Amino acid sequence: MSTSVSDPIKSVTAAPSAPSAQPDRFVHERLPAPEQLPRMEYALPELRIPAQANLVQSLFDKAIREGRGDKPLLRSDRITLSYTEALERVNRIAQVLTEDFGLKPGNRVLLRGGNSIGMALAWLGVVQAGLVAVATMPLLRAKELGEIIEKARPALALCDATLLEELQAAQAQSDVLPTIVPFNLMDAPGSLAVLSAQKDGNFKPCPVSADDIALMAFTSGTTGKPKAAVHTHRDVLAACEAWPRHVLKANPDDIVVGSPPP
């Protein structure tokens, strides 16, 4: 049954919100009033998410605590990364974003890429740092990207090196996006790979509230201008706990192919 703001689900107690760790309030200030938001049900024991919960830290900590640190997490035709190896790369990316570019929690980072390990690591690094991930579909052209940039006001973009042209065209049409950093480019000065290689991976995850913003997902704009769906760390953690366990019924040895666009 669908849920509307006029017929909300009766709330089952979630942990009270912890203080926000996102000083950039851009997204928070543009959300509907609290009374207009649906009240979500967190009745299952696994959905009793702590008030302070960085979703990336929580997922990696759980995997390593359960003895899966050396198990494969991400696999392509060229590389396989374990949970521990992926976490080190995620932390290096978070270091680049916060140390080299001075990004602060709540800043938006636009992500442009296809389904690749590089895109996945970039997304995880953004959220680990308390930033807001704004992933975009690789088929979008400069016009659509420009509309998303105007709405999301990203402080930086991480872009697959093969998809730079349209994003650079969108950047040239606006003064909003100051910096584009390419990824999936191994040896170019200023690329995410080169910058990350200079870091040690010793990064303390941002201690966000479970109700701080993790991502903005824009619609394709087929019925008008793209609109952003906003999700918190609690939202994504709840989905990670509920869907694989109760719908997919996944087990640790399953291999999941990611085919939808980012």
- Tens digits of residue pLDDT in 146-182: 999 999 999 999 999 999 999 999 999 999 999 999 9
User: Which two three-digit tokens encode residue 154?
Assistant: 């990203």
Among candidate residues 14, 68, 63, the one with its CA nearest the CA of residue 43? 14
pLDDT at 262 > cutoff 70: no
CA 100 – CA 105 distance, rounded (Å)? 14
pLDDT at 248 > cutoff 80: yes
- CA 61 to each of CA 28, 54, 56, 96, 215: distance values in angstroms, whole numbers, following the listed order: 27, 10, 8, 21, 20
pLDDT at 3 > cutoff 70: no
Query: What pLDDT, in 10s, does the model give residues 101-143?
Result: 999 999 999 999 999 999 999 999 999 999 999 999 999 999 9
Q: How confident is the model at residue 232 (pLDDT cuts 50, 70, 90)?
A: very high
- pTM of the model as a whole: 0.92
Strands 228-232, 213-218: pairing is antiparallel
Query: What pLDDT, in 10s, does the model give residues 41-56?
Result: 888 899 999 999 999 9
List of domains in the chain: 50-248 (3.40.50.980)
Question: What pLDDT does 11 receive?
Answer: 40
DSSP label of 98: I
Query: What pLDDT, in 10s, does the model give residues 60-100?
Result: 999 999 999 999 999 999 999 999 999 999 999 999 999 99
Question: What pLDDT does 261 receive?
Answer: 62
Question: What pLDDT does 224 receive?
Answer: 81
Number of C-beta neighbours around residue 156 at 10 A:
20
Question: What pLDDT does 16 receive?
Answer: 63
SS3 content of the chain, % helix, strand, coil (to 5): 35, 15, 45
